[in-house]
A = this chain, B = another copy of it.
């Protein structure tokens, strides 16, 4: 399992990546994160929904409702133009972060 202090700062990026694939809603996103990480990372519900609110406030995502006759009503989210820009920025930052932290990791200890 992965400590949350590491992922902190990348939860938003993870969510944006999934919304880039397709518009989605809370429950689906949490399943997809677990799936894509091979069960290595399971986001907490409260973490996920507070991330949605943060991203909404910043204008990086938009929420909307679909007409649906079945299932419980869901709030869907889609990524915005500025959300995409933010995501790209974060991707670049991630490459840098990897470089930096790698400098302090001893390969012979793995």
Tell me the chain A residues, 23-53 only, with Cβ under 8 Å from chain B: 36-37, 40-41
Task: State the A residues within 8 Å of B (CB).
Answer: 2-10, 13-14, 17-18, 20, 36-37, 40-41, 87-88, 91-101, 103-106, 109-110
Q: Is the CB of A104 within 8 A of B13?
A: yes
Q: Is the CB of B95 within 8 A of A110?
A: yes
CA distance A98 to B41 in the complex (A): 12
Contact A106/B10 with A41-B100, A99-B40, A101-B94 known, Cβ cut-off 8 Å = no
Q: Is the CB of B3 within 8 A of A93?
A: yes
Contacts of A96 in B (CB 8 A): 2, 40
Contacts of A41 in B (CB 8 A): 100
